[in-house]
Amino acid sequence: MAGQARVLGALTLDSGEVLPELTVAYETYGTLNEDRSNAILVCHALTMDQYAASTHPITGKPGWWLNLIGPGKPIDLDRYFVICPNVLGSCLGTTGPTSPAPDGKPWGMRFPVITIADMVRAQAKLLDALGIEQLHAVVGGSMGGMQVLSWAALYPERVRNAAAIATAARHSAQNIAFHEVGRQAIMADPHWAGGDYYEGTPPTSGLAVARMAAHITYLSEAGLTEKFGRRLQDRDAKSFGFDADFQIESYLRHQGVSFTDRFDANSYLYITRAMDYFDLAEAHGGKLAAAYEGTSTRFCVVSFDTDWLYPTSESREIVHALMAAGAEVSFVELSSPFGHDAFLLNTPGMDQIVAGFLG
Amino acid sequence: MSGLRPDLRIIASSITEGASVLDIGCGDGALLADLKHNKQVRARGLELDAANVASAVAKGLSVVQGDADTDLATYMSGSFDYAVLSQTLQTVRRPDLVLRELLRIGRHAFVSFPNFAHWRVRGSLLFGGRMPVTRLLPERWYDTPNIHHVTVDDFRALAAEIGATIEECWFLRGDRRTTRTGANLLAEHAVFLLRA
């Protein structure tokens, strides 16, 4: 099952540019039924990948959504066939800045700027190739949720159920700001070299700082305090220097450095840009409800009370727009101390909601 | 059907096959699940408590977490055949505004509530001199969610004041129906069907 990829021809992008050749790498779990009606598309977040329910080939870590995906689990592999593609612009097999351009060299910063809708169109081409006309469901959290919302807006007839978790219909100024900090950290690293680093040393320190800044936004203050507090790292007293005295510093440094083993700096630039450009209402005359007028897709929206990156108010806007469009929608704010990361964790209520919604 | 609370049983039996129903304060979705299963209604719910929403969604229902006091404005006028408010009227901040919203959203509205003028409640206050704690109103005055106690006659007056027509009403004592005559004194629980 591991390591599947399809070459899917050219892809016209929102920017007007055309990718001459699109490859989408993906993983599948479970078995597609005879009438091809039990497929669930799982969309991943910014730095995740297609290994939602299988071991990551680089890190050796287990799948990132094993809480939800598996036999007998809410996304039940005894009943459903799950497809999880690596998003356009990423670096684990799907076309992105690390892929070869027509001249044989990596695209680097010559790669066209992409959008969330472009990612979704690439996934739709994959489904075409797999012969899956309609999905039982599209499910995703964070940027995965943005893809879910785009799927339901772009291909309503192909999506019977859409579960958008810990997400928003547009990226807020605060979220754009955090992304810009990360991008500037990458671009300030001399090894970045305008994005043309594939034959030399990659900008690992810049990418690590970007990850450190982003990682803070995935947690909550209460969660950080509980996990780290002001505790010192392997020492009895402050060093009066700039070592990682505090556990939180050591943790963030580790998160930053280990991220660079599995992720490409240019991919980080492109995907964060796609998220910043995301504003589903903008493409529909400023009215989000217009994106879903007359839809027959059922929706489920979930937020978490300590998620300040994609707060409940953003989810409510989605819900209100869906209701105004006359769509069938469920919504719940679940309680978790773990901030945005709650969507990846075993948050009470989530199993019940996802399983019940998918039926 | 038999598993439903008595007031919900009355509401369920009065709702027509294939209707659209919004249950405001739907709890774990018992009424909606029953109606969806037995009468193929288009069922939607609004519920404040997250655990209740999770239980309702787990039943395959479409329920939105929200507050009757603040979130009804998002529903379109006349978008449901029935809007249901069962044992919730007495818990909202502004029952009058919620009732108006109910009649705006639904072509018909069901409202059920415990009658605060039942003789046992009156007796408890008259002879005991304490805020009544009864089977239907089990909480004490300081921890009760029932912040606007209402009587059958109060409700009739409010309905008249906002220009609603009472299409039907039912009264309960325990699990049994009781007469319309003397309902304000004898009924523990009332169910009204209104239209704007």
CATH number at residue A154: 3.40.50.1820
Kind of pairing between the strands at B106-114 and B189-195 = antiparallel
Both A207 and A327 in one domain: the answer is: no
A332 vs B contacts (CB less than 8 Å): 50, 53-54, 57, 63, 65
**pLDDT (tens digit per residue) in A33-89:** 999 999 999 999 999 999 999 999 999 999 999 999 999 999 999 999 999 999 999
Identify which of A319, A335, A359 has the shortest CB distance to residue B64. A319
Provide the domain count of chain A: 2
Both A196 and A161 in one domain: the answer is: no
Nearest chain B residue (CA) to A74: B58
Alpha-carbon distance A301 to nearest alpha carbon in chain B (angstroms): 9
Percent above pLDDT 70 for chain B: 99
Using a CB–CB cutoff of 8 Å, tell me whether A52 touches chain B: no
Contact between chains at B65 and A331 (C-beta distance less than 8 A): yes
Range of the domain at A240: 175-273
A321 vs B contacts (CB less than 8 Å): none
CA–CA dist B22, B106 (Å, integer): 8
Both A253 and A294 in one domain: the answer is: no
Alpha-carbon distance B6 to nearest alpha carbon in chain A (angstroms): 27
Q: What share of chain B is helix, strand, coil (3-state, %, to 5)?
A: 35, 25, 40
Contact between chains at A356 and B59 (C-beta distance less than 8 A): yes
Alpha-carbon distance B73 to nearest alpha carbon in chain A (angstroms): 10
Nearest chain B residue (CA) to A317: B74
Question: Where does a domain end: A273, A291, A322?
Answer: A273
CA angle at B39 for the pair B36 and B42, rounded to the nearest 5°: 50
Using a CB–CB cutoff of 8 Å, tell me whether A289 touches chain B: no
Both A159 and A296 in one domain: the answer is: yes
Reported as a pLDDT band with limits 50, 70 and 90, residue B51 is very high
Question: Where does a domain end: A273, A300, A334?
Answer: A273
Both A237 and A314 in one domain: the answer is: no
Contact between chains at A353 and B54 (C-beta distance less than 8 A): yes
Helical segments of chain A, H only: 116-130, 143-154, 173-188, 204-218, 221-227, 247-262, 265-276, 312-324, 350-358
Using a CB–CB cutoff of 8 Å, tell me whether A356 touches chain B: yes
Residue (of A303, A143, A305) closest to A220 by Cα position: A305
Both A67 and A130 in one domain: the answer is: yes
Name the maximum alpha-carbon separation found in chain A: 67
Task: Name residues 58-117 of chain A within 8 A of B (Cβ).
Answer: none
Query: Would you state the pLDDT for residue B50?
Result: 95
The mean pLDDT of chain B is: 95
Contact between chains at B58 and A329 (C-beta distance less than 8 A): no
**pLDDT (tens digit per residue) in B81-103:** 999 999 999 999 999 999 999 99
Question: Where does a domain end: A254, A273, A292?
Answer: A273
Domains delineated in chain B: 6-116+149-195 (3.40.50.150)
Using a CB–CB cutoff of 8 Å, tell me whether A319 touches chain B: yes
Q: Exposed, middle or buried: residue B47 (CB in 10 Å: 0-12, 13-18, 19+)?
A: buried
Average pLDDT over residues A193-206: 97
Q: What is the pTM of this model?
A: 0.94
Question: What angle, rounded to 10 degrees, do the helices at A204-218 and A173-188 form?
Answer: 160
Both A260 and A305 in one domain: the answer is: no
Both A184 and A257 in one domain: the answer is: yes
Using a CB–CB cutoff of 8 Å, tell me whether B113 touches chain A: no
CB pairs < 8 Å spanning A and B: 59
CB B194 within 8 A of CB B108: yes
A2: pLDDT strictly greater than 60: no
**pLDDT (tens digit per residue) in A264-315:** 999 999 999 999 999 999 989 999 999 999 999 999 999 999 999 999 999 9
**pLDDT (tens digit per residue) in B100-149:** 999 999 999 999 999 999 999 999 999 999 999 888 889 999 999 999 99
A225: pLDDT strictly greater than 60: yes
Query: Would you state the pLDDT for residue B2?
Result: 57
Task: Name residues 134-173 of chain B within 8 A of A (Cβ).
Answer: none
Query: Would you state the pLDDT for residue A3?
Result: 76
Both A182 and A319 in one domain: the answer is: no
CATH of the domain at A253: 1.10.1740.110
Both A268 and A337 in one domain: the answer is: no
Identify which of B53, B60, B75 has the shortest CB distance to residue A323. B75
The mean pLDDT of chain A is: 96
The count of C-alpha atoms lying within 13 angstroms of the C-alpha of B64, restricted to the half-sphere facing its C-beta, is 29
Using a CB–CB cutoff of 8 Å, tell me whether B26 touches chain A: no
B62 vs A contacts (CB less than 8 Å): 298, 328-330
Reported as a pLDDT band with limits 50, 70 and 90, residue A1 is very low
CA distances from B178 to A106, A180, A358, B181, B186 (A): 81, 68, 43, 9, 8
Contact between chains at A353 and B50 (C-beta distance less than 8 A): no
B1: pLDDT strictly greater than 50: no
B60 vs A contacts (CB less than 8 Å): 356-357, 359
Identify which of A323, A335, A357 has the shortest CB distance to residue B57. A357
Alpha-carbon distance B81 to nearest alpha carbon in chain A (angstroms): 14
**pLDDT (tens digit per residue) in A103-145:** 999 999 999 999 999 999 999 999 999 999 999 999 999 999 9
Question: Phi then psi for A307, rounded to 5 degrees?
Answer: -80, 105
**pLDDT (tens digit per residue) in B56-87:** 999 999 999 999 999 999 999 999 999 999 99
Contact between chains at B50 and A333 (C-beta distance less than 8 A): yes
A190: pLDDT strictly greater than 90: yes
A339: pLDDT strictly greater than 50: yes
A178: pLDDT strictly greater than 80: yes
Query: What are the DSSP calls for A191-224, one per residue?
Result: GGGGG--TTS---HHHHHHHHHHHHHHHS-HHHH
Both A241 and A300 in one domain: the answer is: no
Query: Would you state the pLDDT for residue B135?
Result: 84
Active site residues per annotation of A: 142, 307, 340
Both A243 and A320 in one domain: the answer is: no
Identify which of A326, A331, A349 has the shortest CB distance to residue B51. A349
Using a CB–CB cutoff of 8 Å, tell me whether B74 touches chain A: yes
Nearest chain B residue (CA) to A301: B64
Using a CB–CB cutoff of 8 Å, tell me whether A332 touches chain B: yes
Using a CB–CB cutoff of 8 Å, tell me whether B59 touches chain A: yes
Task: Locate the DSSP E strands across B115-182.
Answer: 165-173, 176-178
The count of C-alpha atoms lying within 13 angstroms of the C-alpha of A197, restricted to the half-sphere facing its C-beta, is 19
Nearest chain A residue (CA) to B80: A326
**pLDDT (tens digit per residue) in A156-170:** 999 999 999 999 999
The ipTM is: 0.89
